[in-house]
């Protein structure tokens, strides 16, 4: 059974979705860069080992990344899952976990990498928004995509209502992506593309606003 380590910085709702999904893997530890991350308490309540590596204790990114990697490696994970982890990781760190490092981002990448995704989507007036689970590569929020979920943007939406609609989908697609990885049904191939033995399912399209 594969071992996974989850990295968080805050609320931890995606981490909680993973803990509650009964994944075919062992969740070896949850690590935060902030001691006050709410998700740490949720992890402890699930009996998961936790650790804090405070980024503020390190002079630069390289030394923080090294300390974080040392803590991660103690748990010998097969997959390292970023779940609302709010530090940018250096190229050396990303290379060390090539093919094993996964992130969820609250937009339909490659649209809206970075922060404030929901605000920017509303400003642009897009009609469809969503979330993306992807392998992490050195370019921020640009790695090979495993799964995406799309939601309609409603006229009355605020960044908060749109974020909530996207977050519901995050909690569905992240456990699915990690399940595929744990079962070797999805992997990163030698050309840095996502390979999968999953059948793609034709489904209905999302048209927003709806057709008459």
- State the residues that interact with ligand GRF by CB under 6 A: 8, 10-15, 83-84, 104-106, 131, 167, 170
Cβ proximity to ligand GRF, 66 vs 161, nearer residue: 161
Annotation marks residue 105 as catalytic? yes
Cα separation, 73 vs 3, whole angstroms: 11
Q: How far is the CB of 176 from ligand GRF (least distance, A)?
A: 15
Q: How far is the CB of 75 from ligand GRF (least distance, A)?
A: 20
Q: H/E/C letters for each residue in 68-89? A: HHHHHHHCCCCEEEECCCCCCC
Cβ proximity to ligand GRF, 74 vs 142, nearer residue: 142
Residue in the shown chain whose Cβ atom is closest to ligand GRF:
84
Cβ proximity to ligand GRF, 16 vs 184, nearer residue: 16
Structure tokens of 148? 């995406």
Active-site residue, selected from the candidate residues 46, 55, 75, 105: 105
**Residues classed as catalytic:** 105
């Amino acid at each position: 059974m594969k071992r996974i380590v989850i990295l968080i910085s805050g609320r931890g709702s995606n981490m909680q979705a993973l803990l509650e999904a009964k994944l075919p893997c062992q969740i070896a530890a949850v690590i935060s860069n902030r001691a006050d991350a709410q998700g740490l308490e949720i992890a402890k309540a699930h009996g998961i080992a936790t650790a804090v590596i405070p980024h503020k204790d390190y002079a630069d990114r390289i030394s923080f990344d090294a300390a974080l990697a040392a803590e991660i490696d103690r748990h010998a994970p097969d997959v390292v899952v970023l779940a609302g982890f709010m530090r940018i990781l250096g190229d050396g760190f990303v290379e060390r976990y090539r093919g094993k490092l996964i992130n969820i981002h609250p937009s339909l990448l490659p649209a809206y990498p970075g922060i404030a995704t929901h605000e920017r989507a509303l400003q642009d007036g897009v009609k469809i928004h969503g979330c993306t689970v992807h392998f992490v590569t050195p370019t921020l929020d640009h790695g090979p995509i495993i799964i995406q979920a799309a939601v309609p943007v409603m006229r009355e939406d605020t960044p908060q209502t749109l974020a909530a609609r996207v977050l519901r989908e995050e909690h569905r697609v992240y456990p699915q992506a990690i399940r595929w990885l744990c079962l070797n049904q999805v992997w990163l191939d030698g050309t840095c593309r996502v390979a999968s033995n999953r059948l793609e399912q034709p489904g209905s399209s999302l048209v927003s606003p709806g057709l008459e």
